[in-house]
Amino acid sequence: MPLSALLFDCDGVLVDSEIVGLADAAMFLQSRGFSWSAQEVITRFTGMRSDLFVANLRESYAAILGRSPDEAELADLVSGLLETRRAQLHTMTLVAGATMAVRTAGEVFAGRIAVASSSGKAQLADKMSRFGLAGHFGPHIYSADDVERGKPYPDIFLHAAAALGVAPATTLIIEDSVNGVLAARRAGAEVWGFVGGGHCAADHAQQLTESGASRIVADHDDLATQLRELS
Residues that bind Mg ion (CB under 5 A): 9, 11-12, 47, 176-177
Among 31, 82, 60, smallest CA distance to 69 is for 60
Contacting residues for 195 by C-beta, under 8 A, at least 6 apart: 176, 204, 205, 208, 216, 217, 218
Q: Which is nearer to Mg ion, 9 or 222 (CB)?
A: 9
Q: Which is nearer to Mg ion, 168 or 197 (CB)?
A: 197
Q: How far is the CB of 93 from Mg ion (least distance, A)?
A: 15
Q: How far is the CB of 67 from Mg ion (least distance, A)?
A: 32
Contact assessment for residue 221 and residue 191, using Cβ atoms and an 8 Å cutoff? no
Contact assessment for residue 8 and residue 179, using Cβ atoms and an 8 Å cutoff? no
Q: Which is nearer to Mg ion, 144 or 158 (CB)?
A: 144
CB-closest chain residue to Mg ion: 12
Q: Which is nearer to Mg ion, 61 or 118 (CB)?
A: 118
Q: How far is the CB of 17 from Mg ion (least distance, A)?
A: 8
Q: How far is the CB of 13 from Mg ion (least distance, A)?
A: 6
Report the alpha-carbon angle 211-57-36, nearest 5. 70
Q: Which is nearer to Mg ion, 8 or 61 (CB)?
A: 8
| Helices and strands in the chain: count of H runs, count of E runs | 10, 6
Q: How far is the CB of 221 from Mg ion (least distance, A)?
A: 19
Sign of the CA dihedral running 206, 211, 214, 219: negative
How far from 161 is each of 51, 54, 146, 170, 193, CA to CA, in Å?
23, 28, 13, 9, 19
